[in-house]
Amino acid sequence: MTLQDYLKAEGYDTSVRSNWDENVSIWRSWYDGKVNRFHQYYIYNGRRKVPQERLSMQMAKKCCEDWADQLFNERTEITVNSAASQKQLDELLSKTGFRPLVNDAVEQSGAVGTVGLVVSVCDLQYDTMRGTIDVSSAEPRLEIVDYENIYPLSWSGRNVTECAFSASRTIRGKKYAFLSMHQRNSAGNYVIHNAVFSDNNGNLTEIQMDGISREFDTKSPAPWFALISPAGASNTARGLPWGLPYFAQAIDTMKSLDTAYDSLNTEILLGRRRIFARADLLQENITGEKVFDDSDIAIYALPKGLSQEDLLQTEAHELRCEALIKSIEFDLNLFSTQVGFGKSHYRFTDPTQQTATAVVSADSAMQRRRIKHQIPLMAAVDSLVHALSYAATAFGQYSIDLDGLTITTPDDVVEDTESKAQRALREVNAKIRSRAEYREDIFGDSPEAAKEAITAIDEMEPSIERLIGG
């Protein structure tokens, strides 16, 4: 029996996974930078095919890292109204590694389309005989769950309301599989149903393990999990709860990039003087030695039957580095646009000097995509903060009031302050905005400070009456 078999017996459709696994496998290989049958190839040297490994620029990994840092980083603020609750919340988030885990989840979801973040409870003492649970030493924790261990049970579009998560463990040399199903009961609260299986080379047998409760009522109307995915409608996963990687529409561009990058690096190698040798020179002589190594791609075997003068020929060709660099620059520019960062975000050579206005214009596309990605992400983070706080409060370690919960990530986009100030000044002159609003926006004054500054300026300026002695 497999986990899919178990879920099918429970009445759930698991084809949602099996029909998507191949896509995830391809995306993960691009994230790893080693794609089968692309980064491994052969060069024929006239005698045999010599295996080669194509270099990778690792752009899939790079864009996932960059988007994760843009969307959720160490400067992300999670605040509540109560100072006492804020202190406890900060402690809880630090203790569970909340920020680095969410950042990792955002990066990984960008690589494969979807990952899970699950709130669980460690050190629960379950009495199998009595069927009771001791929560006195229990502590909430947050875990990342890979796509391969996610089994959606109920969903509408991307909104997954019930889900199962699996994990593999080895205990005292024996392999076990664990399955936790987060389901709603008739009261609308979430109940976690746990199943444990002994694993005999992939053949699972359900067992009862001491200390593991088969059913845990969270008494929470909010889920103790969230699926993280990049925003954007899928053109290949209609009706499925899976997202697409940031680079899903840029795979052809990454192929072109890595091909050009590999060619640039091998250009030096292949640009050296090539040796064309008669085929018999690549064979062993009477002493068992070879004149030339037949695995060297700098050597190319010529057909037999040539004259003695044709035993060896050499050739050197002109390097094409400049053309290859231009090709890489073009593809990086296209890649930047395809993954949502805007034109010229990624550069292979040192960028030329750009005005602040040009920088802002280039970053506007990234800002629009950033906001788009953050809408579902912040909703998921909000849900996880509620789940963690609920669990920590329910078990008595904390008493956190989430009133006024706000989650913000500062904007790192370069701002053209000069152009902004000029535009704001024109608005003041046109009486579209007040001088106080101008100071608050451009100088960062508080309303009180802006009023005081304007009053001081007015007092310094000579009035018409004073000038004419009135």
Question: How would you classify the pairing of strands 139-145 and 215-217?
Answer: unpaired
Q: Which residues contact 119 (CB under 8 A, 6 or more apart)?
A: 140, 141, 142, 224, 225, 384, 387, 388, 391
Same-domain check for residues 157 and 197: yes
Give the residues across from 142 on adjacent strands: 119
Distance between terminal CA atoms of the chain?
100
Check: CB of residue 179 under 8 Å from CB of residue 164: yes
Tell me which of 49 and 33 has the higher pLDDT. Answer: 33
Burial of 130 (0-12, 13-18, 19+ CB in 10 A): exposed
Range of lowest pLDDT (14-18, 21-25, 194-198)? 14-18
Q: How far apart are CA 116 and CA 145, in angstroms?
A: 5
Spell 14-45 as b/e; 16+ CB within 10 A means b: bebbeebeebbebbbbbbebebeebbeeeeeb
Sheet with strand 274-278: strands edge to edge = 299-302, 274-278, 312-315
**pLDDT at position 332 over 60:** yes
Share of the chain above pLDDT 70, in %: 77
What pLDDT, on the 0 to 100 scale, is given for residue 301? 61
Q: Is residue 142 part of a domain?
A: yes
Domain containing 294 equals: 273-315
**pLDDT at position 105 over 50:** yes
Range of lowest pLDDT (97-111, 117-131, 188-202, 248-262)? 117-131
Average pLDDT in the 424-444 region? 84
Q: How far apart are CA 279 and CA 183, in angstroms?
A: 70
Q: Is residue 384 part of a domain?
A: yes
Check: CB of residue 110 under 8 Å from CB of residue 246: yes
Q: Is residue 256 part of a domain?
A: no
Same-domain check for residues 278 and 216: no
What pLDDT, on the 0 to 100 scale, is given for residue 432? 80
| 3-state percent helix, strand, coil for the chain, nearest multiple of 5 | 40, 25, 35
Check: CB of residue 284 under 8 Å from CB of residue 276: no
Boundary (domain end) residue, out of 358, 389, 408: 408
Tell me the two tokens of residue 416: 């053209």
**pLDDT at position 333 over 50:** yes
User: Rounded to whole angstroms, what are the CA distances from 163 to 117, 176, 183, 233, 255?
Assistant: 11, 20, 7, 21, 35
**pLDDT at position 430 over 50:** yes
**pLDDT at position 37 over 90:** no
CA torsion through residues 13, 161, 211, 127, sign: negative
Check: CB of residue 229 under 8 Å from CB of residue 311: no
What pLDDT, on the 0 to 100 scale, is given for residue 467? 46
**pLDDT at position 268 over 80:** no
Q: ∠ CA(130), CA(132), CA(135), 5° rounding?
A: 150
**pLDDT at position 414 over 50:** no
What pLDDT, on the 0 to 100 scale, is given for residue 378? 95
**pLDDT at position 311 over 60:** no
**pLDDT at position 291 over 70:** no
Q: How far apart are CA 7 and CA 3, in angstroms?
A: 6
What element of type H or E holds 190? Answer: strand 190-200
Same-domain check for residues 305 and 437: no
Q: Is residue 335 part of a domain?
A: no
Same-domain check for residues 37 and 135: yes
Q: How far apart are CA 63 and CA 341, in angstroms?
A: 9
When divided into structural domains, the chain yields a total of 3
Same-domain check for residues 146 and 292: no
Q: Is residue 360 part of a domain?
A: no
Same-domain check for residues 143 and 191: yes
Q: Which residues contact 396 (CB under 8 A, 6 or more apart)?
A: 135, 136
Check: CB of residue 105 under 8 Å from CB of residue 147: no
Q: Is residue 78 part of a domain?
A: yes
Range of lowest pLDDT (64-73, 113-122, 217-226, 309-318)? 309-318
Q: Is residue 344 part of a domain?
A: no
Coil, helix or strand at residue 83:
helix
Tell me which of 348 and 90 has the higher pLDDT. Answer: 90
Same-domain check for residues 382 and 449: no
What pLDDT, on the 0 to 100 scale, is given for residue 464? 47
Check: CB of residue 198 under 8 Å from CB of residue 207: yes
Average pLDDT in the 174-182 region? 93
Question: How would you classify the pairing of strands 215-217 and 159-171?
Answer: unpaired
What pTM was estimated for this model as a whole? 0.75
Same-domain check for residues 108 and 169: yes
Q: How far apart are CA 436 and CA 301, in angstroms?
A: 81
Same-domain check for residues 401 and 434: no
Same-domain check for residues 376 and 396: yes
Tell me which of 125 and 331 has the higher pLDDT. Answer: 331
The HSE-up count of residue 76 (CA atoms within 13 Å, CB side) is: 24
Tens of pLDDT, residues 357-387: 545 555 678 888 899 999 999 999 999 999 9
Q: Is residue 264 part of a domain?
A: no
Tens of pLDDT, residues 53-92: 899 999 999 999 999 999 998 889 999 999 999 999 999 9
Share of the chain above pLDDT 90, in %: 42
Same-domain check for residues 229 and 282: no
**pLDDT at position 293 over 70:** no
What pLDDT, on the 0 to 100 scale, is given for residue 149? 95
State the average pLDDT for the chain.
Answer: 82
Same-domain check for residues 91 and 197: yes
Q: Which residues contact 358 (CB under 8 A, 6 or more apart)?
A: none
User: What is the maximal distance between C-alpha atoms in the chain?
Assistant: 120
What pLDDT, on the 0 to 100 scale, is given for residue 347? 85
Tell me the two tokens of residue 85: 């609750």
Tell me which of 393 and 407 has the higher pLDDT. Answer: 407
What pLDDT, on the 0 to 100 scale, is given for residue 383? 94
